[in-house]
């Protein structure tokens, strides 16, 4: 699976999203997602992850077996030295 369509799916739902996808197992269906967006500001971690899971729900039915999600605001990413 090419990850660009997945990046575009997330970015089409979260306007300011920066997305990095990692293949965790080499099978391209266990993915690590890093999503940076200010839409997460002020939301609890579970709510942040739910936003991503809602976006991916159709992909999770067939194409993706598991996801590891990390969500950050742009300020959090900057303070951690993450630049994607």
* Domain residue ranges in the chain: 4-79
- pLDDT 10s digits, 45-65: 999 999 999 999 999 999 999
Phi (first) and psi of residue 71, to 5 degrees:
-120, 140
Mean pLDDT of the chain: 96
What pTM was estimated for this model as a whole? Answer: 0.94
Residues 16, 83: Cα–Cα separation, whole Å: 14
Out of 3.40.50.720, 3.10.450.50, 3.50.50.60, 3.30.300.90, which CATH number does the structure's domain 4-79 have? Answer: 3.30.300.90
pLDDT score recorded for residue 13: 98
User: Residue 2 — very low, low, confident or very high, per pLDDT cuts 50/70/90?
Assistant: confident
What confidence tens digit (pLDDT) does each residue in 25-42 have? 999 999 999 999 999 999
* pLDDT exceeds cutoff 70 at 1: no
């Amino acid at each position: 699976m090419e990850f660009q369509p997945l990046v575009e799916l997330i970015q089409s739902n979260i306007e300011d999203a920066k997305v990095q996808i990692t293949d965790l197992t080499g099978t391209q269906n266990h993915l690590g997602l890093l999503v940076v967006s200010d839409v997460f500001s002020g939301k609890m971690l579970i709510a942040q992850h739910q936003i991503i899971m809602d976006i991916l729900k159709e992909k999770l039915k067939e194409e993706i077996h598991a996801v590891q999600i990390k969500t950050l605001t742009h300020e959090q990413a900057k303070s951690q030295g993450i630049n994607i």
